[in-house]
Every structure is written in C-alpha cells, then in structure tokens.
Chain A
Amino acid sequence: MNQTTGSRATRILGVGALVALAVMLVFGLVFSPPEVDQRDAVRLMYIHLPSVAVAYTGFAITLVASVIHLRKGSVFWDLVAGAAAEIAVLFTGFVLISGALWGKPTWGVYWQWDPRLTSTTVMFIMYLGYLALRRLDLPPEVRSRRAAILGIISFINVIIVHYSVQWWRGLHQGQTLGVDTKLDGMMLFTLFLSVVAFMTVGAWLLIHRFRVAWLEYQIGLLGFEHALAERRAENETSGLYGSGA
C-alpha cells in the first residue's frame, strides 16, 4: 500500500521541477548579466514574473473548477478549486515579497500605493478570505457552493490586477513581455526558463495538494459512515430500528 501522495507521474514531474529550478538558479544568479539601470536587482525578476504566472494560472484553475462544481456539484472540482487557490495565494505572497525587495533599490521604496501593488494586495487578501471560507464549520455542500461563488467573483480582481498598469497611471512598469519586448537574449532565456521551472513546481504542488484534500475528504466520509453504522447498531439493539415505532 502506497502511504504517500506520490506516484510515478509525480516523481517524474518532481525530478523535472528540481532540475529546472537548479538550472534556473544558475542562470538567474550567475549567467544572466546585470541590467544597466537596475544592476543585479533585475535578478529578482526571475522569481517575480514566474510567481505571477503560477498565481494567475492557479486563480484561473479555481475559476474554471468553481464553475464546473456549481454546474455538476462534483466534489473533485471543488477540491481542485481549493488546492489551486492555496498554491496561487502562496505564489502571490512571493510576488508581493519579491516586488517589494525589487522596489527598494529600483524605486527607493518597498511599498507605494500604486494601482498594481494595491490591487495585487487586495487580490491576495480576497483569496485568503476564500481559503478561510473553505475552513468554516458549515455543511459541506453549503460551504462548497459558497466557496465556488466566491472563487468566481474573486477572479474579477485578477483581471483588474492584470490591466491595472494600462487603466491607471502608477509607479509600476507596464507589461514586461509583449510584442515589442527589448530584453537581452540571455535575460529573456533565463526568464523563460524560470517560468517553465515555476510552472512545473506549481503543477507538481497542485497534484499533491489535491491528493491531500481528497484524503481529507475520504477521512471525513469514513468518519460519517462509521458514526452512521454505530447509530444504526444502537437503534437495532434498543429495538427502535426497523420496528416501525
């Protein structure tokens, strides 16, 4: 009996993630050159942007899974939504921390009430609320349904975060990657490598976190079935069960 949440697929994915992270670290900290204005602080971009990618993807998975859960009532999709949101919140935390550490040497401050920074923080807090809702002591169906609704509503904030640099003028730069991207070749390659590494880690984590949630659900079911069987046995011995009384 396998006593972990690991499988052959996750082990292969896990090794791939570790190798990708190691290569990314070498390129990010050694091979990639410093930028003219930002100097070595530009290296924070290799953890900042990939964290954004994982966070956006996680919140998008939560949105899709929440919609499917509301349509089908499937426990599977409810658990996928919760697992993806938790990972996305973690990586949003990385976005905020790496952004603040990049801001100090580049802008001279860790924090500014800039539209991108503020909306990202609001998004972080909203999804923390989503995770808190999933832990409320409510009937499971009610909790899942409310979480799914909040998972859908919260995604509006992801769109606001993404377009905040276009909609409002602030300190944060516009989109780093686009049609007219003018990044040094090695920087662009390192950035691409970092996104691949972080996305692989995110996928590996999502599988494991979903499996933990599935196990928690199964243990809850087992407890419920055990309590039901005990109650039936009690009723049978006291002559109430099936007596028509």
Chain B
Amino acid sequence: MHWEYVFAGYGIVFASLVVYVVSVLYRGRELSRQVPDDRRRFLD
C-alpha cells in the first residue's frame, strides 16, 4: 500500500543523485585536463 509514493520518492532522490554525481565527475574531468601536475594539491 502507498507504493506509488515510495517509488516516486526513491526514484526522484536516486535519479537526482545520479545526475549530480555525473555532473560533478564530468566537470572534474574537464577541469583536470587544464591544470598542470604541480597545481594538483589535495587531488591525490
């Protein structure tokens, strides 16, 4: 009972989380290419 609310909640939360994670990782990958090794403090 009430499964439609449960699936909507889990669906929205996990889909949003995946979108955010992918966007952060993608942006990190894009920026990493522009920064030389000697400026990569805190990244290892």
**Residues in chain A within 8 A of chain B (CB atoms):** 1-7, 25, 28-29, 34, 38-41, 43-44, 47-48, 51, 76, 90, 93-94, 97-98, 101-102, 104-105, 201, 205, 208-212, 214-216, 218-219, 221-222
Known contacts: A105-B5, A218-B39. The answer to whether A3 contacts B10 by CB under 8 A is: no
Count contacts between A and B, CB distance < 8 Å. Answer: 107
Complex contact A216–B31 (CB within 8 A):
yes
Which chain B positions have C-beta within 8 A of A94?
A: 13, 16-17
Q: Given A94-B13, A94-B16, A105-B5, A205 and B31 touching (CB < 8 A)? A: no
Q: Which residues of B contact A (CB under 8 A)?
A: 1-3, 5-6, 8-10, 12-13, 16-17, 20-21, 24-25, 27-29, 31-35, 37, 39-44
A39-B2 in contact (CB<8A): yes
**Which residues on A sit within 8 Å (CB–CB) of B41?**
214
The secondary structure that dominates the A interface is helix
B35 touches A93 (CB 8 A): no
In the bound complex, CA of A47 to CA of B2 (Å): 16
Are A41's CB and B2's CB within 8 A?
yes
- In the bound complex, residues from chain B placing their C-beta under 8 Å from that of A38 are 2
Q: Which of A4, A39, A51, A205 contacts B13 (CB 8 A)?
A: A51
Cross-chain contact of B31 among A43, A201, A219 (Cβ < 8 A): A219
Other-chain contact of B32, A3, A48, A222 (Cβ < 8 Å):
A3
Q: How close is B4's CB to chain A, nearest CB, in angstroms?
A: 9
Complex-state Cα separation, A98 to B8, whole angstroms: 9
**In the assembled complex, how far is the CB of residue A52 from the closest CB belonging to chain B, in whole angstroms?**
13
Smallest CB gap from A87: residue in B: B20
Q: Smallest CB–CB gap between A71 and chain B, Å?
A: 20
Q: Are A104 and B13 interface neighbours, CB within 8 A? A: no
Contacts of A219 in B (CB 8 A): 31, 34-35
B contact residues around A5 at 8 Å (CB): 24-25, 28-29, 32, 43
Would you list 27 pairs from A and B whose C-beta atoms are within 8 A, ordered by A residue?
A2-B40, A3-B29, A5-B24, A5-B25, A7-B44, A28-B10, A29-B6, A29-B10, A34-B1, A38-B2, A39-B2, A40-B2, A41-B5, A43-B6, A47-B9, A48-B9, A94-B13, A94-B17, A97-B12, A101-B5, A104-B5, A205-B20, A209-B24, A212-B24, A215-B32, A218-B35, A222-B34
